[in-house]
Amino acid sequence: MTSDPLVERMRPFGTTIFTEMSALAVRTGSINLGQGFPDTDGPPEMLAAAGEALRGGANQYPPLPGIPALRAAITAHEQRFWGLTRDPDTEVVVTAGATEAVAAAMLALCEPGDEVVCFEPYYDSYAASITLAGAVRRPVTLRPGPGGRYEFDEGELRAAFGPRTRLVLLNSPHNPTGKVFTTAELTLIAELCQEFTAYAVTDEVYEHLVFTDAAEPHVPLAGLPGMRERTLRISSAGKTFSCTGWKVGWATGPAPLVSAVQRVKQFLTFVNASPLQPAVAVALGLPDGYFERFRADLQGRRDRLVSGLVEAGFEVLPSEGTYFVTADITPLGGTDGAEFCRALPARCGVVAVPTQVFYDNREAGRHLIRFAFCKREEVIDDAAQRLAKLSRPA
Ligand code: PMP
Ligand code: GLN
């Protein structure tokens, strides 16, 4: 017997960088700008509804696709913000966070050896879910272009598609770069999906976090011509309603795609979070003002952190959306983000995440690190003061 009982294909994955860095923050008493979770609660109406549901007996298995009120709220929300019309009975499935939706989608849609086109840096669960399914990832690298905005090369994207391409797994707004894909970029992806008869799976957990200075507002790929029938759209309550620990997510799309995901999901978790489902339904129905304030609030925090990072001597790359901003450590004499982040708590009591772990081509991200700004203003200010020590002679 080998000493590690883990199946071989999962051995390269180790412990996620988020777990490692959050543990480092706790161990060193540092400010955690690594893992992306807010340090304040979401809307009080949602929290009250969860308490009522808990006390009101909503504590047994909900229906497999999710409770009708939540499915209705998900479709009404998609219609209100993105103009997408869905049947709440056949075109929606509630999942244990976006993470389960991504995993179930890969397991449901990919045969072993099928290829999945994705963009790197990629959210870490993508690589693991693709591998669990026995599929092969075909990453296309995002690189800072003129002005620092992350871009991809059209030829590289085209070259990633081929006869074994099963689907493209796209995250926009994009973690960790903060990139929001433009309509022109999405159109290219849509054309290639159609040319190669591939599906698209889109992770839009940051759909409400696109800042006013982004090149364009958020555009769901599913809304582009020819894409509705081939796109599975994934989102989650965690980010939009500051409840990352609830793990209530969903997938929407044409009935055959949703049914495929649901048939796998039923054997992963079966169902999840009964008392939280009615609460998320309430949150999704909040007036437009909630979503507008949420965005404006996070944009203010982004600006606050970015000023601190610039002051500390980082080269900060533009973040158009999400909870995150990336920075180049080169001006501070850094060459390797992983080393830099491991040393940062001892140097100044702040934790960040190296983005090289989200690339196959690690060199492309070696000098880049990610900071989360979904934190209280006083926490951001404290972190900024600590980071200022980096550029001051000891
Ligand atoms: N996708 C992306 C791009 C993320 O940043 C995250 C982290 N929240 C997730 C998926 C996971 O979402 P959830 O917590 O709903 O599973
Ligand atoms: N999505 C969060 C981030 O990118 C972390 C989620 C996790 O810890 N797996 O920071």
Q: Which residues contact 138 (CB under 8 A, 6 or more apart)?
A: 115, 116, 117, 118, 160, 161, 162, 165
Q: Candidates 126, 177, 205, 269: which one to mutate for ligand 1, based on the most atoms within 8 Å of Cβ? A: 205
pLDDT of residue 393: 60
CB atoms within 10 A of CB 376: 12
Distance CA 13, CA 16 (A): 7
pLDDT of residue 15: 87
User: Which domains, ranges and CATH numbers included, belong to the chain?
Assistant: 8-42+289-391 (3.90.1150.10), 44-287 (3.40.640.10)
User: Is 244 touching ligand 1 by the criterion CB < 6 Å?
Assistant: yes
Looking at the CA of residue 244, tell me the nearest atom of ligand 1. Answer: 14
Ligand 1 mean position to 98 CA, how many Å? 5
User: Is 43 touching ligand 2 by the criterion CB < 6 Å?
Assistant: no
Q: Are 221 and 202 in contact (CB under 8 A)?
A: yes
Distance CA 16, CA 26 (A): 16
Q: Candidates 24, 35, 371: which one to mutate for ligand 2, based on the most atoms within 8 Å of Cβ? A: 35
- Kindly list the averaged pLDDT for each block of 10 residues, start to end, along the chain of length 394: 86 90 95 96 98 97 98 98 98 98 98 98 97 98 95 98 98 98 98 98 98 96 98 98 98 98 98 98 98 98 98 98 98 97 96 97 97 98 96 68
Query: Closest residue (by CA) to atom 4 of ligand 2?
Result: 36
Q: Which ligand minimizes its atom distance to the CA of 373?
A: 2
